[in-house]
């Protein structure tokens, strides 16, 4: 096929990279196969489960329905970008552990990337707003309440506010 492959240049987790990609390949496949970003999970492959979520230019996307060629010139972040210089976990990753929001862990990277998008707005959200923003994910193991609590706890901590007590 003529023009089946294209060279794309983009920024992956803070590093400028270039890759020749098949125009039909998904961003998920490129990130996993070519860059070993194993946090980007292959779940439903139709954009419904959220396991493949990555942040592209500050906004979360399901990478399974985002073509790799569309990454040209973009800044893409995966869960791997959250680790500190010595491998230390980010605040939201630690909150997921502290709140027992992780069981099998398959959906966790996608949830955390959505949480990063939420947290980086610097806004305070209600429980209903957080639930709506996290609703694009499927988890078969945990109660969503633990995940909500981890995001909420981190949101309040980043805002410098005390976590409200349950009434």
- Counted domains in the chain: 2
- Pair 23, 6: CB distance under 8 Å: yes
Of 55, 81, 107, which marks where a domain is finished?
81
Q: What is the CATH number of the domain that holds 143?
A: 1.10.150.120
In percent, the amount of the chain with pLDDT more than 90 equals 87
> Which residues have CB under 8 Å from 46's CB, separation 6+?
64, 65
**pLDDT single digits (tens) 101-138:** 988 889 999 999 999 999 999 999 999 999 999 998 98
Quick one: tokens of 34?
Answer: 């070519």
CA distance 118 to 155: 8
For 17, list phi and psi in degrees, rounded to 5: -135, 165
Helical (H) or strand (E) element with 83: none
By C-alpha distance, which of 134, 165, 133 is closest to 147? Answer: 134
Confidence label for 64 from pLDDT (cuts 50, 70 and 90):
very high
Q: What is the CATH number of the domain that holds 24?
A: 3.10.20.30
Query: How many CB atoms neighbour CB 43 within 10 A?
Result: 19
Cβ-in-10-Å burial (0-12, 13-18, 19+) of 8 comes to buried
Of 81, 105, 137, which marks where a domain is finished?
81
Q: Tell me the residue range of the domain where 97 lies.
A: 91-159
Q: Are residues 73 and 139 in the same domain?
A: no
What is the three-state SS of 18-30? EEEEECCCEHHHH
3-state helix, strand, coil in the chain (%, to 5): 40, 15, 45
**pLDDT single digits (tens) 69-101:** 999 999 999 999 999 999 999 999 999 999 999
The alpha carbon torsion through 120, 123, 128, 130 (nearest 10 deg) reads: 10
145-158: average pLDDT: 96
Q: Are residues 49 and 106 in the same domain?
A: no
The pLDDT mean for the chain works out to 94
**pLDDT single digits (tens) 35-59:** 999 999 999 999 999 999 999 999 9
């Amino acid at each position: 096929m003529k023009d089946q492959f294209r060279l794309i240049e983009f920024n992956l987790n803070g590093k400028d990279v270039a890759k020749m990609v098949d125009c039909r390949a998904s961003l998920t496949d490129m990130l996993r196969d070519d860059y070993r970003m194993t946090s980007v999970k292959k779940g439903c492959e139709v954009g419904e489960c959220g396991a493949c979520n990555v942040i592209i230019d500050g906004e979360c996307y399901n990478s399974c329905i985002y073509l790799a060629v569309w990454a040209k010139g973009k800044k893409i972040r995966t869960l791997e970008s959250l680790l500190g210089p010595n491998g230390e976990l980010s605040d939201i990753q630690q909150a997921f552990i502290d709140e027992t929001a992780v069981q099998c862990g398959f959906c966790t990277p996608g949830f955390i990337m959505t949480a990063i998008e939420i947290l980086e707005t610097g806004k305070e959200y209600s429980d209903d707003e957080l639930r709506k923003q996290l609703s694009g994910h499927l988890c078969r193991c945990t109660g969503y309440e633990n995940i909500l609590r981890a995001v909420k706890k981190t949101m309040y901590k980043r805002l410098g506010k005390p976590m409200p007590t349950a009434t």
